[in-house]
Chains A and B, each alone.
Chain A
Amino acid sequence: MSPNSIAQGERLIVDAARAGDQAALSELYTLYFPRVYRYILARTGNTYDAEDLAEEVFMKVLEAIDRFQWREAPFSAWLFRIAHNALISQRRKDGVRGRSGPLSDGIALDSQSPDDMVANRLALNEIMDAAQNLPEAQRQVITLRFAAGLSVAETARAMNKGEGNVKVIQHKAIAKLRETVRNKPKAREEETV
């Protein structure tokens, strides 16, 4: 299926949901809930916060979908702007910047075997630790692009930035992530000496 027909299909679903069609709303939920959850979990590292905030995001979508206008932004960008605002608001309430504790044990991973699961959890911890040290804009680009699966255009609209700017931020973020992850074993060795 071409990107255009996917976009057209999504437009039909969004318009039906705006008109009050519950089946369409449910379909939108199926399409976006895992992405919103993943985005929030990647930002907070806490499954409870991810569940609560993802629910809050969809309640807000329900309240505001009447006011959504296609000419302003793609639906995904609009939705993830709501998700980002919910995160900011939560952070203000908690008075902390981003992830405050270790990665939740309850995080579900799509792994086949226990060995894979352990390896994936280690990798996830490493990436989330590294992302923790990125500036806010870089963290946002990384999670919107790689956790939420938004395109550069969608990410740019969600962040109210230009596409060129998002590409620059993405480049810097990946370089910094790589650097942090690459230096980690060295740091561990130094700690043990």
Chain B
Amino acid sequence: MKRRQFEEILDECISAYLSGRRSVEDSLSLYPSIARELQPLLRAAADTADTLQELRPPPRVQERIRLNILRAASERAAARALTRHIDGFTTRADGRGHWFLAIPALAAATAAIVVLGLVVLPGGSSDPSTGTARVSVVERPEFSTHLTAARRQLDAIRTKTTNGEAVTQADIEALLGTTRGFAQSAEPSELAARDQVRLEQILEEQLALLGELSSKTYEEREEIEDAVAVTVSVAAVFGVAVTAPDLGDEPRATSDASPAATSNTGSDPAASASPFPTSSPSAGATSPGRD
């Protein structure tokens, strides 16, 4: 048998196996004259396919990413609708100009310019207390690296807690360092929409995880309280609405993304645990104290 012919048959058998139409044995009985040659290859292919098919994304990860994609899709749809609105007023199908249609379009264009002025231009600001989503097309690689690092640290800590392993002071401090790094690697106004969404999820998950940890350990209590305070501060700086976890002794407090929001650790994040050594977020939410 020619090699080409053999490859055709091998692929036909593999395809039949992958689609569930035939087992390896069925294929071998279908081609008895080449069964000896076919058998080891088909078995290897079936083993490889079976093993690789065992890999699956964790459902939590799949849903988190789905949410990110759908949010990004919504943002794109909104941006497109605005563009269409502006484009649509200038001409009509009958070719006549309709100057009065310019009014809503001009209003939309003005709004877009105001938003760009507030959000994209350097030094522009939007009030983080409103939690207004920022839109930027600027990608900040350093910030993305911090996001990835934070995600890994969170997942590593979560794995430890799931496996009943001890979460160490070093784990919390590493997380704290990464959280501080957010504010040092990007201005809030520079954040791309995708990074903003990822940051929101990370900060929310981080606070929930810290809350869980605080109920399990008293040894790293101080580090956890610091981490909560810093996380709340960073959330305030980036206009992210978060709920600080109940750490037990103190009454529950929430942050509504106001720069003055505090955690319920009893410490003022703007004073003692601010991620910014020289000024507090409450002093200027859009300029994280790097001047």
Main secondary structure of the interface of B (DSSP, over half): helix
Q: Does the CB pair B72–A62 fall under 8 Å?
A: yes
Q: Given the complex, which residues of A lie within 8 Å of B15, measured CB to CB?
A: 151-152
Given contacts A26-B66, A58-B69, contact A147 B52 (CB under 8 A): yes
Q: Does the CB pair B55–A124 fall under 8 Å?
A: yes
CA distance A152 to B19 in the complex (A): 12
A168 interface hit (Cβ, 8 Å) = yes
A136 interface hit (Cβ, 8 Å) = no
Q: Flag the segment in B39-47, B95-103, B209-217 that touches A.
A: B39-47
**Most A-side CB within 10 Å, residue of B7, B18, B65, B194:** B65
Q: Which of B71-94 contact A (CB under 8 A)?
A: 72-74, 76-77, 80
Q: Flag the segment in B26-34, B56-64, B224-232 that touches A.
A: B56-64
Q: Given the complex, which residues of B lie within 8 Å of A26, measured CB to CB?
A: 66, 70
CA distance A175 to B43 in the complex (A): 11
Given contacts A106-B159, A175-B41, contact A124 B152 (CB under 8 A): no
A70 interface hit (Cβ, 8 Å) = no
For B73, give its contact among A22, A110, A175 (CB under 8 Å).
Answer: A22
A185 to chain B, nearest CB (A): 15
Q: Does the CB pair B41–A127 fall under 8 Å?
A: no
Q: Does the CB pair B56–A110 fall under 8 Å?
A: yes
Main secondary structure of the interface of A (DSSP, over half): helix
B271 interface hit (Cβ, 8 Å) = no
Q: Does the CB pair A145–B54 fall under 8 Å?
A: no
Q: Does the CB pair A145–B14 fall under 8 Å?
A: yes
> Chain B residue with minimal CB distance to A28?
B69
B87 to chain A, nearest CB (A): 16
B161 interface hit (Cβ, 8 Å) = no
Given contacts A25-B73, A109-B54, A164-B4, contact A174 B48 (CB under 8 A): yes
Chain B interface size, as a band, is 35 or more
Cβ contacts A12-26/B at 8 Å (1 or 0 each):
000000001010011
Given contacts A25-B70, A181-B44, contact A123 B57 (CB under 8 A): no
B8 interface hit (Cβ, 8 Å) = yes
Q: Given the complex, which residues of B lie within 8 Å of A59, measured CB to CB?
A: 68-69, 72, 194
Given contacts A26-B70, A34-B62, A62-B73, contact A174 B44 (CB under 8 A): yes
Given contacts A143-B52, A147-B52, A171-B41, contact A33 B57 (CB under 8 A): yes
Given contacts A58-B69, A108-B58, contact A42 B41 (CB under 8 A): no
B151 interface hit (Cβ, 8 Å) = yes
Q: Does the CB pair B7–A167 fall under 8 Å?
A: yes
> Chain A residue with minimal CB distance to B11?
A167
Subset of 30 A-B contacts with CB under 8 Å: A22-B73, A25-B69, A25-B70, A25-B73, A26-B70, A29-B69, A33-B65, A33-B66, A37-B62, A48-B152, A51-B57, A51-B151, A55-B65, A110-B54, A123-B47, A127-B48, A127-B52, A146-B49, A146-B53, A151-B15, A164-B7, A167-B10, A167-B11, A168-B7, A170-B7, A171-B7, A171-B41, A177-B48, A178-B40, A178-B44
Interface residues of A (CB under 8 A from B): 20, 22, 25-26, 29-30, 33-34, 37-38, 41-42, 48, 50-52, 54-55, 58-59, 62-63, 105-111, 120, 123-124, 127, 142-143, 145-147, 149, 151-152, 164, 167-168, 170-171, 174-175, 177-178, 181
